[in-house]
Amino acid sequence: MKTYNINKGIGCTVEFKGLKAQYLFGFAGGLLLVLILVMVLYMADVNMYICLSVGCISASLIVWKTFSLNNKYGEHGLMKLGAKRKHPQFIITRKPVQSYLKYSVAKGEKIQNFNTKSSRLS
Domain that holds residue 42: 15-86
- pLDDT value, residue 93: 76
Q: Kindly state whether residue 96 falls inside one of the protein's structural domains.
A: no
Confidence (pTM): 0.57
Q: Kindly state whether residue 10 falls inside one of the protein's structural domains.
A: no
Q: Kindly state whether residue 38 falls inside one of the protein's structural domains.
A: yes
Distance CA 120, CA 122 (A): 6
Distance CA 64, CA 29 (A): 14
Q: Kindly state whether residue 7 falls inside one of the protein's structural domains.
A: no
Q: Kindly state whether residue 120 falls inside one of the protein's structural domains.
A: no
Q: Kindly state whether residue 75 falls inside one of the protein's structural domains.
A: yes
Q: Which is more confident, 12 or 27?
A: 27
**Phi–psi pair at 4, nearest 5 degrees:** -115, 140
Q: Which is more confident, 105 or 86?
A: 86
Q: Kindly state whether residue 20 falls inside one of the protein's structural domains.
A: yes
| Average predicted confidence (pLDDT) for the chain | 79
Query: Three-state DSSP class for 9?
Result: coil
Q: Kindly state whether residue 103 falls inside one of the protein's structural domains.
A: no
User: For the chain, how many structural domains are there in total?
Assistant: 1
What ranges make up the beta strands (E) of the chain? Answer: 15-16, 19-20, 103-104, 109-110
Cα dist from 82 to 76, 77, 86, 105, whole Å: 10, 9, 7, 42
The pLDDT-based confidence of 60 (bands split at 50, 70, 90) is: very high
